[in-house]
Structure 1
Amino acid sequence: MIMRPGQQLLLPANPLFIAFSLLVALGLNMLINMGLWGRAAWVPDLLAVALVFWSVHQPLRVGVGTAFFFGLVMDVHQGALLGQHALAYAALGFLAIAMHRRLLWFPVPNQAIQVLPLFAAAHLLSMLVRAVAGDGFPGWTYLLSPVIESALWPVASVLLLAPQRRAPDPDDNRPL
């Protein structure tokens, strides 16, 4: 694969680390939903950020099926309409896999701008499902959530790629 100039060569991703990071994101999502803000409309969906990140960086390991499963878990946790998060996460997974090759050519701040429409589409899809079920409009603060999720993209890139950036056995005489 041709790499961008200045791009660091990464080690292979550990499947256990991928699973652990997704479970941590799920746990943080559950804690945030039960915390001080409850299910406020502006609160970012950390699990969605992790799912999109791994769908972009490891599309063979984390895909639409994984996203659908975690969406069902979030539906059960929130007591939401069964399939609401599952549909939104599956759409996120599909769109992330569809654009993963193009997205990786951009630097991380530009990637954050590129994933903003993905998060916005997922929130719009979730809102449409709720509207069909008879729920009202959650308010204009709902538009902040995709922006905050997109702003978290560089943080996720630093945290989730950190184990892959270390050298397998560092040596002063080897440039990699």
Structure 2
Amino acid sequence: MIMPAGRPLLLPANPRFIAFTLLLALLVNMLLGLTGLRWLPDVLAIVVVFWNVHQPRRVGVLLAFVLGLALDVHESALLGQNALSYVVLSSMALAIQRRLLWFPLREQALQIVPLFIVAAVLEWGTRLIVQDAWPHWSQLFSPFLQAALWPLLGALLLAPQRRAFAPDDIRPL
């Protein structure tokens, strides 16, 4: 793939770093779930979509399914409710990942909003069918907060790949 002009070349992502960020996002999601605030963003969904876009061969639909099941078990929710939304979110992210990489992180956030909205609607629909529970109005903010966090988390997750491999005075890259 030809990179757009002015973009820095990135080092390959370390698989341990990817695993660490996914585990950390899962733990943050579990801690945020304990607060009971419904409007908080789904950090795990953001990180899964980010790695789906930037490392599609390492993080795919199967890993999204397993992480969704882990979150379902933690929340004591319907088994597969979060897993279904993560699988749909992951497959949609994989479908647009080539086009998404052409844009900077701020512009990517605008294109990610529909993905988060579809995943939230799917989760709300599942909850409505099974538990007969209407979504709270504050949950409508969550997909937009996730998109707002996309540039920040993207910059943090790309930071280790931007460091110089062997910096010296001759090679400034």
Normalising by the residue count of structure 2, what TM-score does the alignment of the two structures yield? 0.97
**Quick check: 1:41–1:138 contact (8 Å CA) kept in 2?**
no
Paired position in structure 2 for 1:63? 60
**Secondary structure of 1:146's match?**
helix
Paired position in structure 1 for 2:165? 168
Shift of 1:65: 0.2
Name the count of aligned residue pairs: 173
Q: Please state if 1:88 is matched with 2:54.
A: no
Unaligned runs of 5+ in 2: none
> How far apart in 1 are the matches of 2:38 and 2:32?
12
1:93-137, Cα deviation, whole Å (9 max, x unpaired): 101111000001011111001000000000000011111103321
Paired position in structure 1 for 2:22? 22
* 1:34-49 correspondence to structure 2 within 5 Å: 34-35=34-35, 38=36, 40-49=37-46
> How far apart in 2 are the matches of 1:33 and 1:131?
19
Amino acid at match of 1:98: A
> How far apart in 2 are the matches of 1:51 and 1:134?
26
Q: Structure 1 residue runs of 4+, over 4 Å off?
A: none
* 1:132-143 correspondence to structure 2 within 5 Å: 132-143=129-140
1:124-153, Cα deviation, whole Å (9 max, x unpaired): 000111111033212221110000000000
**Quick check: 1:63–1:93 contact (8 Å CA) kept in 2?**
yes
> How far apart in 1 are the matches of 2:61 and 2:67?
10
* 1:83-122 correspondence to structure 2 within 5 Å: 83-122=80-119
Q: Please state if 1:127 is matched with 2:113.
A: no
**Quick check: 1:55–1:93 contact (8 Å CA) kept in 2?**
yes
Shift of 1:172: 1.8
Shift of 1:173: 1.6
> How far apart in 1 are the matches of 2:152 and 2:131?
36
1:142-171, Cα deviation, whole Å (9 max, x unpaired): 110000000000011111001100011101
Paired position in structure 1 for 2:146? 149
Structure 1 vs Structure 2 CA RMSD: 0.9
